[in-house]
């Protein structure tokens, strides 16, 4: 199989760059604790998605894509954890590639909004692109359990 195409080279560089970022983060974690390999992963509760809490590990900013359909919307709602448009197990989940949106007008009685379906049922909302820096970024959703 030939891999000398410009697309394959670009994909390979992106993989190596992202791998280096993750590896660098693990190296820092090991140096700081000295026992990271013996401890269970610590993914902080990051997002709501499809009715569940998900942990996350930020990987970095993404350039604005030509096709935003390759991203999931991530909704920043004041007073609660962000809400993902889709989560792992959902066929619409894009693997943790996000397009930030800000939501205004959610009543306190409706919080936390736990799923995109729940968000769509609320009336009187203002939803706008942005409100988070960066607007396009990558951080996968990972299993999370409250202790």
The answer to whether residues 99 and 109 belong to one domain is yes
The answer to whether residues 64 and 102 belong to one domain is yes
Helix (H, G, I), strand (E, B) or coil at 55: strand
Omega into 124 within 30° of 0, i.e. cis?
Answer: no
pTM, two decimal places: 0.70
The answer to whether residues 62 and 20 belong to one domain is no
Q: How many domains does the chain have?
A: 2
- In 3D space, the residue among 71, 67, 60 whose CA is nearest the CA of residue 22 turns out to be 60
What is the pLDDT at residue 144? Answer: 78
The answer to whether residues 55 and 22 belong to one domain is no
The answer to whether residues 26 and 75 belong to one domain is no
The answer to whether residues 73 and 4 belong to one domain is no
- Contact of 94 with 68, CB cutoff 8 Å: no
The answer to whether residues 81 and 110 belong to one domain is yes
Instruction: Domain of residue 6: give its range.
Output: 1-39
**Confidence tier at 146 by pLDDT (50, 70, 90):** low
How does pLDDT run across 85-140, given as a tens digit for each residue?
999 999 999 999 999 999 999 999 999 999 999 999 999 999 999 988 999 999 99
The answer to whether residues 57 and 128 belong to one domain is yes
The answer to whether residues 84 and 28 belong to one domain is no
> Angle 112-118-123 (CA atoms, 0-180°, nearest 5)?
95
How does pLDDT run across 22-70, given as a tens digit for each residue?
333 322 232 333 334 445 555 667 899 999 999 988 899 999 999 999 9
């Amino acid at each position: 199989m030939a891999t000398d195409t410009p697309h394959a080279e670009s994909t390979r560089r992106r993989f190596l760059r992202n791998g280096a970022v993750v590896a660098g983060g693990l190296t820092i974690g090991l140096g700081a604790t000295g026992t990271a390999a013996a401890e269970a992963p610590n993914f902080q509760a990051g997002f709501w998605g499809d009715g569940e809490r998900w942990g996350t590990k930020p990987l970095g900013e993404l350039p604005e894509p030509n096709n935003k359909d390759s991203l999931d919307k991530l909704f920043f709602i004041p007073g609660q954890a962000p809400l993902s448009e889709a989560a792992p197990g959902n066929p619409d989940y894009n693997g943790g590639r996000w397009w930030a949106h800000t939501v205004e007008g959610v009543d306190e009685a409706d919080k936390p909004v736990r799923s995109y379906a729940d968000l769509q049922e609320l009336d009187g909302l203002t939803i706008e692109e942005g409100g988070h820096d960066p607007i396009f970024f990558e951080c996968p959703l990972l299993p999370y359990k409250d202790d």
